Amino acid sequence: FPVTIEDVQGEKKGFYVLIGIKPNNYAKKIVKMWRARELQEIIDIGKKFNVKCAVIDAGPEIRTARQFQQASPWEVFLCRYNEHQHKNPNFDSKEGFVTINRTEICDDTHAVIAGDDTLILPRRTEEVEHFAVQMWNTARKLEIDEDTGNKEYDYIKIGSEGDDYYHTFNYLNLAFMRISVCKNEERKEHRRSALYRDWE
């Protein structure tokens, strides 16, 4: 399981958290989403889910992010967006950072929620509704530099609901790169597919 955390502003503000799993090579499954009040709460719940990797927002309080990194019993990467990076994510295990082009990882997230990949959510709750609103609260916009005429796409927040879960999902996409398919989930999917075949 990977765990991802967005908007690290200290425990007074709380943290947006996602825990996910890869049931197979084409699906992403979120098993828990919530807004935590304390870092220790995230660690305690993460242990119950046997978390293997975490990607956490490096800012705006990098000291808080580092505290989580040092206290966690699993691999933790602090994420920084790098607008000048145009390649695969750079995972630096020694320094504990991962860097990625913001537009590229937002493209990956958009592809998932637009249906290119299979996204499996927990049962419908108020928090899942909040997640859904935030995931559709970000739009791809073409930006044109008035001085150079260069054109680039960027993702901007629309509406007033915030985009914290959107960026938390960006980090989840990064964390998924560090884990393998869960064999137990894969066997469940095979059994479910076999049942469907029997019904046909």
Query: In the prediction, which pLDDT does 8 show?
Result: 59
| pLDDT (tens digit per residue) in 86-117 | 888 999 999 999 999 999 999 999 888 887 66
For the cut 80, the answer to whether the pLDDT of residue 180 exceeds it is yes
Higher pLDDT, 25 or 127: 127
For the cut 70, the answer to whether the pLDDT of residue 193 exceeds it is no
Of the candidates 195, 176, 169, 188, the one whose C-alpha atom is nearest the C-alpha of residue 26 is 176
Rg, the chain, Cα only = 18
Strands annotated E in the chain: 2-6, 15-21, 27-36, 53-57, 75-81, 90-92, 97-100, 118-120, 138-144, 151-157
pTM of the predicted model as reported, rounded to 2 decimal places: 0.84
For the cut 70, the answer to whether the pLDDT of residue 82 exceeds it is yes
The arithmetic mean of pLDDT across residues 15-35, rounded, is 92
Query: In the prediction, which pLDDT does 61 show?
Result: 84
| pLDDT (tens digit per residue) in 111-125 | 888 876 689 999 999
Distance of CA 77 to the CA centre of its chain: 12
C-beta of residue 21 within 8 angstroms of C-beta of residue 27: no
Q: How confident is the model at residue 6 (pLDDT cuts 50, 70, 90)?
A: low
C-beta of residue 75 within 8 angstroms of C-beta of residue 50: no
165: phi > 0 → left, psi -120 to 50 → alpha, else beta; which? alpha
Higher pLDDT, 172 or 26: 172
| pLDDT (tens digit per residue) in 117-175 | 689 999 999 999 999 999 988 888 888 888 888 888 888 888 777 889 999 999 999 99
